[in-house]
């Protein structure tokens, strides 16, 4: 069974890859096949960016709060404090 590529979307096996969005620029996971640029990790990059930062993005760093510290899950922080870390 052979699947043809359309001009707008790339197709590989059973997955249809949507083109990357502007927020994806600079990511190392972008692959270009026959002039089509798509994400190698997720088929629909626009939906990954709809709720904030894409968790697959290699060009975006963790958010930093006002004091310059990386935000940590409060449950993990309490467990670390209990262990004495």
Query: What is the DSSP track for 52-80?
Result: SS-TT-SS-PPPB-TTS-B---HHHHHHH
- Report in angstroms the alpha-carbon separations of 59 from 6, 29, 63, 76: 28, 10, 12, 25
User: Quick one: pLDDT at residue 72?
Assistant: 75
What is the mean pLDDT of the segment spanning 56-70? 69
Looking at residue 3, what is its pLDDT? 40
What pLDDT does residue 4 have?
A: 45
Gap between the Cα atoms of 67 and 51, Å rounded: 25
The pLDDT of 57-65, averaged and rounded, is 71
**Tens digits of per-residue pLDDT, 28-51?**
888 888 888 888 888 888 888 887
């Amino acid at each position: 069974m052979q699947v043809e590529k359309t001009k707008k979307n790339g197709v590989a096996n059973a997955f249809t890859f949507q083109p990357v969005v502007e927020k994806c620029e600079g990511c190392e996971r972008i692959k270009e096949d026959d002039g089509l640029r798509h994400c190698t990790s997720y088929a629909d990059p626009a939906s990954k960016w709809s709720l904030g930062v894409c968790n697959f993005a290699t060009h975006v760093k963790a958010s930093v709060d006002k004091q310059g510290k990386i935000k940590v899950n409060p449950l993990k922080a309490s467990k670390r404090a209990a262990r004495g870390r």
